[in-house]
Amino acid sequence: MTEVSICMKTTISVIKADIGGFPGHQDVHPELIKVAKEMLATAKKSGQLTDFFVGKCGDDLQLIMTHSKGVDCKEIHKLAWDTFVAGTEVAKRLKLYGAGQDLLSDAFSGNVKGMGPGVAELEFEERTSEPVIVFMMDKTDPGAFNLPVYRMFADPFCTPGLVIDPSMQGGFHFEVYDTVEGRKITFKTPEEMYSMLAFVGSRSRYVIKRVYPGPGNKVSEKEAVACVSTEKLSQIAGQYVGKDDPVAIVRCQSGLPAVGEVLEPFSFPHLVAGWMRGSHQGPMMPCAMEQATPTRLDGPPRVVALGFQLANGTLVGPADIFKDVSYDYTRQKANEIAEYMRRHGPFEPHRLPEEDLEYTNLPKLQEKFKGRFTKI
Ligand code: F6R
Ligand code: MG
Ligand code: MG
């Protein structure tokens, strides 16, 4: 008789949606947090979830859930969908802004992907100690993760472990999505680093979806160690309905980038697409969850980092990481850059180039003036 070893894997699912803002697109109302907590607590009691944390970033409600049912699980996605539907009822009653905004379909069809909410999920065998960071962004799109995720796993000037830790000498493999053609490709770093940058530098089209350890790493090459939500609302809805406001999950330490190495790219407030009307370039400002209330011109874009230790699926934490004073300088810099960019008003590069505004109201305006143009 062959011996079958059953190892319990943990799945962490982060599913988020903007189901109504307060005021405008600034914050999540406490009533929405309350209803989400109630729904997920019931699911935990029934054994459907191992654990959960309800968070927020700007106007996005964030469901951080652990379970043992794997990624793309219909039951878990339905739970998230039902939670957003219940929250939408509350949002409608309070007349919150854009109630139900990200629920782009009337009925759940098995998976929330393509229905509006953003999803990032990882399934893995928990190591002796399993530090995980959940990043949540507001007022931007999935390409905003390209630069920081690239730097965490491929830039030795950011991550000393790539040089010093023998487990990381084999580098990492990046799964990249082409969001225009609906195709994907995997690049191996460090050997294909330059080629990968040729693509992921175009962050409105190519987005890093997952990262896998390279050969020789302590963590299996088959287990993704980072995952980014890549859903693009405009492509699902066919028009601008708010920014995608992506999330990411990153596992850390013991052969993977350390917590500090994973956080290091965010010390640079890089320019991302989004901000007011999803039509502007602005600096990414790291901040605490309570500070993630984009106010100045509905911005500037924010990123929150919640740190957890997993203990057999239990979410020990969170630590609200960017609360730390060591990010004060970055916030100050981000405010300076925001001021500098704002001075350009409606001019590029503050405003996005025409091709990135195709889902906004700009094409309607261009249509209106089409007949007024004459040949030069
Ligand atoms: C950006 C965002 C906001 C809105 C802006 C206009 O992602 O959601 O900046 O685009 O507040 O919103 P409406 O058109 O709903 O008045
Ligand atoms: Mg909103
Ligand atoms: Mg948002």
Mean pLDDT, residues 89-106 taken together: 94
Mean pLDDT, residues 255-269 taken together: 98
Give the pLDDT score at 27.
98
pLDDT band at 213 (very low <50, low <70, confident <90, very high): very high
Inform me whether the pLDDT recorded for 3 exceeds 50: no
Every domain of the chain and the residues it spans: 10-347
Compute the mean pLDDT over every residue in the chain, rounded to the nearest whole number: 95
Is the CB of residue 40 less than 8 Å from the CB of residue 14? no
* Cα 200 to chain centroid, rounded: 16
Mean pLDDT, residues 132-137 taken together: 98
Q: Which atom of ligand 1 is nearest to the CA of 24?
A: 11
Give the pLDDT score at 303.
98
Of all residues in the chain, the percent with pLDDT exceeding 70 is: 98
Inform me whether the pLDDT recorded for 267 exceeds 90: yes
Mean pLDDT, residues 266-277 taken together: 97
Closest Cα to atom 2, ligand 1: which residue? 277
Q: Which atom of ligand 1 is nearest to the CA of 59?
A: 8
DSSP state of 266: G
Ligand nearest to the CA of 272: 1
Q: Is 207 helix (H, G, I), strand (E, B) or coil?
A: strand
Q: Is 79 helix (H, G, I), strand (E, B) or coil?
A: helix
Is the CB of residue 79 less than 8 Å from the CB of residue 85? no
Closest Cα to atom 14, ligand 1: which residue? 277
Residues shown for the chain: 376
Closest Cα to atom 12, ligand 1: which residue? 277
Give the pLDDT score at 361.
82
Which residues have CB under 8 Å from 149's CB, separation 6+? 174, 208, 211, 226, 228, 248, 250, 265
- In this structure, the residues whose C-beta lies within 6 A of any atom of ligand 1 are 24-25, 139, 242-243, 274, 276-278, 298
Inform me whether the pLDDT recorded for 5 exceeds 90: no
Q: Is 141 a catalytic residue?
A: no
Inform me whether the pLDDT recorded for 39 exceeds 90: yes
Q: Which atom of ligand 1 is nearest to the CA of 277?
A: 10
Q: Is 194 a catalytic residue?
A: no
Inform me whether the pLDDT recorded for 151 exceeds 70: yes
**187 token code pair:** 């690049």
Give the pLDDT score at 231.
87
Give the pLDDT score at 238.
82
Mean pLDDT, residues 68-87 taken together: 97
Mean pLDDT, residues 51-76 taken together: 98
**18 token code pair:** 């903007």
Beta bridge partners, 319, equal: 307
Q: Which residue reads 């050969």 in tokens?
A: 215
Rounded to 5 degrees, φ, ψ at 99 are -55, 125
**29 token code pair:** 């109302």
Four-residue CA torsion sign, 318, 319, 321, 325: positive
Q: Is 18 a catalytic residue?
A: yes
Is the CB of residue 12 less than 8 Å from the CB of residue 26? no
**359 token code pair:** 């889902």
**Angle 175-229-166 from CA coordinates, rounded to 5°:** 45
pLDDT band at 7 (very low <50, low <70, confident <90, very high): low
